[in-house]
Amino acid sequence: MRKRLAVLLACALPLVLAPAPADAAGPPAVALNSVIPAPVEVRPGGPAFRLTARTVIVAPPSARPVADRLAEAVRAATGYRLAVVKHAPRHAPAITLAPGRTGGEGYRLSVGRKGVTIRSGGNSGLFNGVQTLRQLLPLEAPWTVAGGEILDRPRFAYRGAFLDLARHFHTPAEIKQYIDEISQFKVNHLHLHLSDDQGWRIQIDSWPRLTAVGGAAGTGVDGVGGGFLTKADYRDLVRYAAARYVTIVPEIDMPGHVNAAQVAYPELTCDGVAPPPRTDTAVGYSSLCIGKEVTYRFVEDVIRELAELTPGPLIHIGGDEAHATSEADYIAFQQRVLPLVGKYGKTAYGWNEITQAPASHTAIAQYWNTSTTDPTLAAAVAAGAKVIMSPANLAYLDMKYDPSTRLGLSWAGYIEVRTAYDWDPGAHVTGVPESAVLGVEAPLWSETLRSIEDIEFMAFPRLAAIAELGWSPSRDWESFRTRLGAYGPRWTARGVGFYPSPQIDWAG
Q: Interface residues with ligand TNX (CB under 6 A)? A: 283, 320-321, 351, 368, 392, 396, 398, 409, 445, 447
Nearer to ligand TNX, 30 or 465 (CB): 465
Rounded Cα distance, 248 and 191, in Å: 6
Rounded Cα distance, 146 and 32, in Å: 6
Nearer to ligand TNX, 284 or 497 (CB): 284
Smallest gap from Cβ 216 to ligand TNX, in A, equals 21
Active site residue 105: no
Smallest gap from Cβ 240 to ligand TNX, in A, equals 25
Rounded Cα distance, 220 and 214, in Å: 9
- Own/partner contacts of 389-393, CB < 8 Å, gap of 24 or more, are 389/425, 389/428, 389/429, 389/437, 389/439, 389/440, 389/441, 390/162, 390/366, 390/440, 390/441, 390/442, 390/443, 391/367, 391/423, 391/428, 392/368, 392/443, 393/419
Nearer to ligand TNX, 127 or 158 (CB): 158
Nearer to ligand TNX, 137 or 165 (CB): 165
How many CB atoms neighbour CB 281 within 10 A?
A: 14
Smallest gap from Cβ 444 to ligand TNX, in A, equals 9
| Beta carbons of 311 and 217 less than 8 angstroms apart | no
Smallest gap from Cβ 368 to ligand TNX, in A, equals 5
Smallest gap from Cβ 409 to ligand TNX, in A, equals 5
SS3 at position 409: strand
Smallest gap from Cβ 197 to ligand TNX, in A, equals 9
Residue 486, CA distances (Å) to 31, 303, 489, 490 in order: 10, 44, 7, 8
Smallest gap from Cβ 388 to ligand TNX, in A, equals 12
Rounded Cα distance, 67 and 70, in Å: 5
SS3 at position 274: coil
Nearer to ligand TNX, 28 or 199 (CB): 199
Nearer to ligand TNX, 396 or 491 (CB): 396
Which secondary-structure segment (H or E) carries 393? helix 392-395
Angle, nearest 10°, between helix axes 231-242 and 172-183?
20
What is the total residue count of the chain? Answer: 508
φ, ψ dihedrals at 159, nearest 5°: -130, 110
Nearer to ligand TNX, 49 or 423 (CB): 423
Rounded Cα distance, 263 and 285, in Å: 14
The beta-strand segments (E) located in 86-136 are 94-99, 107-112, 115-120
| Beta carbons of 320 and 257 less than 8 angstroms apart | yes
Q: Which residue out of 321, 441, 453, 468 is catalytically annotated? A: 321
Residues recognised as catalytic: 321
